[in-house]
A = this chain, B = another copy of it.
Amino acid sequence: MDTKQRILDEALTLFSQKGYANVYVNDIAEKVGIKAPSLYKHYKNKKAIFDAIIEEMNNRFAIQAKNLNIIGNDPAADARIYESLSEEEMIKLGFDLFEYYIHDDYVKRFRKMLTIEQFHNKELADTYTKLYVDDPLLYQGLLLGQVVSSGGLSTENVDIMTLHFFAPIYMLLTMCDRNPEREPEAFKILESHIRQFNKLYSRKRKEV
């Protein structure tokens, strides 16, 4: 990895741990293994490093989206796989999604940075809500909607059903960002959540 990219990587690590204002250009330079003034040959100033991270994330977005949405970014195609899933297979998919969110290092550091900086300006707030609320609900909603259409699950309100599926995952995810030592517990809860979700919305039951 070239120096310009390594600066972004080390800066993201530090920003995600301490927040933008608590990280000094000297800290970043030290991690990269150069002196602070050398940073200015690659980026105009500290703010430009932060902006480059945000921009790079937007560039990576197309790739990330595929993994974010359980299988791919073609919900209709995904649903064809999904509708034939047993409960065990559904749990595996949930685990894979959760693992990706939690252990993909770039995704995790970026989310933590955004968590810290979300109140700094409206653009960052909107980015957070899009990436971790609206987009997951949109894509998983399309997916679950297909499963409902094909009779795998049953509900009168797919949006709320999707909220019931995703909100516990979101809550466990943000908890693990703070308390990684509770990951094993989170996985157990996640499994119980998906099992109960499945039974609650099973087509074998009366419609809600």
A residues bordering B, Cβ < 8 Å? Answer: 16-19, 21-22, 112, 115-116, 118-120, 125-126, 128-129, 133, 155-157, 159-161, 163-164, 166-168, 170-171, 174-175, 177-179, 182, 189, 192-193, 196-197, 199-201, 205-206, 208
- Copy number in the complex reads 2
- What does DSSP make chain A's interface, helix, strand, loop or mixed? helix
Residue of B nearest to A166 (CB): B171
B163 near A120 (CB under 8 angstroms)? no
Q: Chain B nearest CB: distance from A26 CB in Å? A: 15
| Set of chain B residues within 8 Å of A192, measured between Cβ atoms | 157, 159-160
Provide the bound-state CA to CA distance between A201 and B199, in Å: 11
B179 near A208 (CB under 8 angstroms)? no
